[in-house]
Amino acid sequence: MVEKRSNWADNYTYSAARIHYPETIEQVQALVSGSSKLRVLGSGHSFNAIADTPEDLVSLSRLNSPLEFDHIHHTVTVGAGITYGELCEQLQQEGYALPNLASLPHISIAGACATATHGSGDHNGNLATSVSAIEIVTANGKLAQLSRDQHSEQFGGMVVALGGLGVVTRLTLDLVPAFEMRQDVYEDLSLAQLADHFDEIEASAYSVSLFTDWQNEQISQVWLKRRITPDLTLDLADELFGAKLATTQRHPIANLSAENCTEQLGIPGHWYARLPHFRIGFMPSSGEELQTEYLIPRQHAIAAFHAVASLQDQLAPLLQVSEIRTIAADTLWMSPCYQQACVAFHFTWKKDWEAVKLLLPRIEAQLATFEARPHWGKLFTMPATYVQSLYPKLGDFQRLLHNYDPQSKFRNPFLDTYIFGQSYSG
């Protein structure tokens, strides 16, 4: 009987004929050599068909790959199946940290990097910017080592590769010294104050998240994650441009318990216990949600706020919460932040795809003026030709994938649609 597997949100069931769980690199190589169509499944946190394939789906969750620290170059090499939550405590024990984390520590490192998943912060790039080398099994079953130093310009297309380059088996990540943080929440910031002080608010902490339901022209919560340094003032003002300092723990969705959220109220903690919104040891929900995210050039932030807010009556019945974050520019070809700092508008929906599917084109129409790019692993309805037009290095990326995978072994309908489409000339 064919194993059927769904993603974390249970909104997508993979169509693969076979699902494999290799435990060694050699087994991965044999699977690749013997397959004509193959894709890798990360932790299943994508909401669309990006990881699917009609034939062989490979999970690397059982691939045994011990951590390898390089204390001279301050890097760690990890197995592709490891999650950020599984890695962080081990980094801390060695005195290291990653520069940033996503809101969920439960996602796989390889999957997050392949889709340009991000954290937050004016000076923080997406998670893939920490990758300095990757090991992949290419279409012929051979092992290849690719690095920022040796492949320079092309490496920009090799990390955020959407699973099209090969099976990533190990990644080398740049590290920074471990650091401590505190997290504080302010409530009820008016949209008018946000418009007047957006840059100040975003610059006020290492990582900033704005949560809203788009009602009442206000941001319901402002989460400030600040590094603890000798010159940091520990006493916070009771107000932030009119928003009030929260005196109890908060969940991004106002009516939910904050039990699973990372510590707030200014309580000091390790970097990995403050950068995510949810604790490593707890799952934030049962997956009863859908997610959409659009990334917009930073200079359009306030105009985009107003554009989305104009849809508040249509958003209200379907939205659980929205989160807005800033991300620094990078040099990764298929990153939405390629050569431009961005503001990410994230939507967590109630699990009603038929209704959400009707609403997304209206949001996308509002944001089209600002060249909004969809997150590769979330739900969107933008035409493929429009998505392709947003990436100036698309042609180079197409050629890179064709060079490494001339038989299209790692291509699937998602890549055929959004990467190759009619614009690819071979």
CB 160 within 8 A of CB 171: no
Q: How confident is the model over 8-23, as pLDDT tens digits?
A: 877 888 889 999 999 9
Judge whether residue 4 has pLDDT over 70: no
pTM, 2 dp: 0.94
Residues 6 or more apart whose CB falls under 8 angstroms from that of 253 comprise: 320, 321, 348
Q: How confident is the model over 247-275, as pLDDT tens digits?
A: 999 999 888 888 889 999 999 999 999 99
- Specify the pLDDT at position 8: 80
Q: What is the mean pLDDT of the chain?
A: 92
What gap in Å lies between CA 143 and CA 128, rounded to an integer? 21
- Specify the pLDDT at position 425: 43
CB 283 within 8 A of CB 260: yes
Q: How confident is the model over 90-139, as pLDDT tens digits?
A: 999 999 999 999 888 888 999 999 999 999 999 999 999 999 999 999 99
- Which stretches of 266-300 are DSSP H helices? none
Burial 267-289 (b: 16+ CB within 10 A, else e): eeebbbbbbbbbbbeeebeebeb
Section 368-378 average pLDDT: 96
Residues 6 or more apart whose CB falls under 8 angstroms from that of 158 comprise: 134, 146, 151, 165, 400
CB 77 within 8 A of CB 132: no
The residue with greater pLDDT, 45 or 294, is 294
